[in-house]
Amino acid sequence: MNGIILDQIRAEKNVVRCRLKFQGEMAAFFNKDEFFIQYEDDIESVPQSILAIPFVSCIAGLTWIADSQLWLDEIDKTFYRAFARLKRAYQELHSDYGFGGELIPSVFKENSTPANERSILLFGGGTDCQASFIRNESNIDTVLNIFGWLGDIKDEDPVEKHDLQVTEDFCSAMGKTSAHIRSNIFSALNLKEIDRRFQKKMHAGYWYAFLHSMAFISMAIPLAWKKSLSQIIIASSFGKGVDKKTHGYCASLVTTDSEFSWAENGNTLHDGYELERQDKVRLIVDYQKKTGKQMFLQVCSFNDRNCCVCGKCFRTVIQIVAEGGDPRLFGFSIEGSLYDFYSSRALDIVHTWNYRKEQSRYWAPTVARMKENYEAILDKPFADWFMTFDFAKAEKQGLRKYYKKNFWKIIKRKLKISG
């Protein structure tokens, strides 16, 4: 029988730790038997039934796909009821694979947080969360950044440091309170082994299919309790009506995130799913023009700055241009004209942009917006180049150039993998 026991959950000032025990094959899916979450606030007064929520949430998907029981001493009663709905929502997403597993607490605890409209906004600095900030600005009390890849509580990471600075700078400009959570939850899980065993059933990696939104939302819940805030806002990544092929079985959807509730009145808002990405960029550009504030969009994943040449950076640059904005006011350090910068690099980088997917999902709405808003565009030569450039041809040329330049490296890498 497979099983995980949340053997001990204890809070010491601003750190909560959870010791795990394993039955059956479950130990193979963990690099460590202890999780920690470090808050900036003292959380010793938070009930254990609330503190348990992040640890339950982060391994919930694993217990479902591995048919594992999960035991613990106590859990918040509202969350326990929501947990059944959360499991059902994920089961509907993964409808071709039946979930097992069972959550078994010894005690249900009745908790109640005040009913209000004060919120925590989960923040990574990107387009989605900044659009959600603008949409919910008056209700947002705290802007929260979470970093979960630490190995040890004493570890330092340059990406974490940069993300924290981005959040603090944003809050300083917007007059909001910033908060930061540090954890080892992502690195304590053996994601490589989980994916090796279950990726076909998950249709994606565990991080993407289950973990990321469940971890971010749940880690914010003890802080929301501490601050008497009743809502957590997570920005949407996909618009309404997208199918599984489009969102790739992403864990963060309105159907899943919205099921998170706790302590009677605690709830989650999956914000902006009715908007497309170009709509969100329009909100941000219009807000910048109205306020005159420089808004740093952090769109490079796991990077301490926007590289300006990856697919995500290029996508955001063209969307800002389409709305009549200057990308340099949004965190893109580009010297010279946009046309010179990108046209001179296109053959070297376009093959990394996943052109076919980007063109159909993002670039087509951007081209339409460029044509509609052409008179307001500040850099018309760049817009003209983008709308007429043969990216499909350039992608083929770029790939041939890349393979020719890196032929022996590719062969050695393939031989290493096959060996």
| Percent of the chain clearing pLDDT 70 (strictly above) | 93
* Positive or negative torsion for Cα 192, 194, 197, 198: negative
Helix (H, G, I), strand (E, B) or coil at 296: coil
On the question of pLDDT at 121 being above 70, the answer is yes
47-88 residue pLDDT tens: 999 999 999 999 999 999 999 999 999 999 999 999 999 999
Please identify which residue in the block is written with the tokens 């805030």.
229
Largest CA distance in the chain: 66
On the question of pLDDT at 242 being above 70, the answer is no
On the question of pLDDT at 417 being above 80, the answer is no
201-233 residue pLDDT tens: 888 899 999 999 999 999 999 999 999 999 999
Chain centre distance of CA 310: 18
- 120 vs 144: CA distance, rounded Å: 7
Output the pLDDT for position 248.
Answer: 64
Bigger pLDDT: 189 or 250? 189
Mean pLDDT, rounded, of the chain: 91
Output the pLDDT for position 413.
Answer: 63
126-158 residue pLDDT tens: 999 999 999 999 999 999 999 999 999 999 888
* Predicted model pTM: 0.92
Q: Label residue 350 by pLDDT band (50, 70, 90).
A: confident
What φ, ψ does residue 272 adopt, rounded to 5°? 85, 15
Please identify which residue in the block is written with the tokens 């003292």.
42
Asked which of 3-17, 325-339, 388-402 is least confident by mean pLDDT, the reply is 388-402
